């Protein structure tokens, strides 16, 4: 099905597929997802860029596959659930943006709560790669 920009050709909102909309949202670059946090009522701390940078200096590779490019700093306990743990280094783990962040951080479902065993799962996978 070809998507049209003309209003008359768009499907009505009732036919919208929420799952596809959610998938499209997570295809946006990570900086855009971080900006979306501001509109969700959970603004990031002003210290978050510094803490993220320091964490990436300490853990400069994906905990699961060892990749060193396109890295995400993943919150083990989600930021929206526990904003007080946003800057806690014990709540952070480095994962590559694709696919390890989705696979290990969210167990293949971004709507699901974060994986509380992400460090253990990533370490187990990494030992199998070696």
pLDDT at res. 62 = 96
**Sign of CA pseudo-dihedral 47, 31, 70, 95:** positive
Question: What pLDDT was estimated at residue 74?
Answer: 94
Backbone angles phi, psi at 94, to 5 degrees: -90, 125
Q: Which of 27-36, 58-67, 106-115 has the lowest mean pLDDT?
A: 27-36
Residue 65: inside a domain:
yes
What is the average pLDDT value for the chain, to the nearest integer? 79
Angle at 85 between CA 26 and CA 87, to 5 degrees: 85
Specify if 9 maps to a domain: no
Q: Is the pLDDT of residue 5 over 60?
A: no
Q: How many CB atoms lie within 10 A of CB 117?
A: 13
pLDDT at 23: 53
Q: 99 lies in a domain?
A: yes
Instruction: Decide if 7 is inside a domain.
Output: no
CA–CA separation, 78 vs 9, rounded Å? 39
Domain count, the chain: 1
Residue 12 has pLDDT above 60, yes or no: no
Under the banding of pLDDT at 50, 70 and 90, the label for residue 13 is: very low
In this structure, is residue 114 part of a structural domain?
Answer: yes
Residue range of the domain that includes 115: 19-129
Flag whether 5 is in a domain: no
pLDDT of residue 6: 52
Determine the average pLDDT of the residues in 35-43.
58
């Amino acid at each position: 099905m070809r998507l049209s920009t003309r209003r008359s050709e768009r499907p009505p909102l009732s036919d919208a597929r929420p799952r596809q909309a959610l998938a499209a949202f997570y295809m946006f670059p990570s900086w855009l997802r971080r900006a979306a946090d501001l509109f969700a009522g959970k603004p990031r701390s002003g210290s978050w860029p510094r803490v993220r940078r320091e964490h990436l200096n300490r853990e400069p590779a994906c905990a699961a596959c060892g990749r060193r490019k396109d890295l995400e700093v993943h919150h083990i306990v989600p930021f929206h659930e526990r904003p007080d743990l946003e800057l806690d280094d014990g709540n952070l783990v480095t994962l590559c943006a694709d696919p390890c962040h989705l696979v290990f951080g969210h167990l293949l479902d971004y709507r699901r709560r974060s994986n509380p065993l992400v460090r253990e799962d990533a370490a187990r996978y990494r030992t199998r790669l070696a």
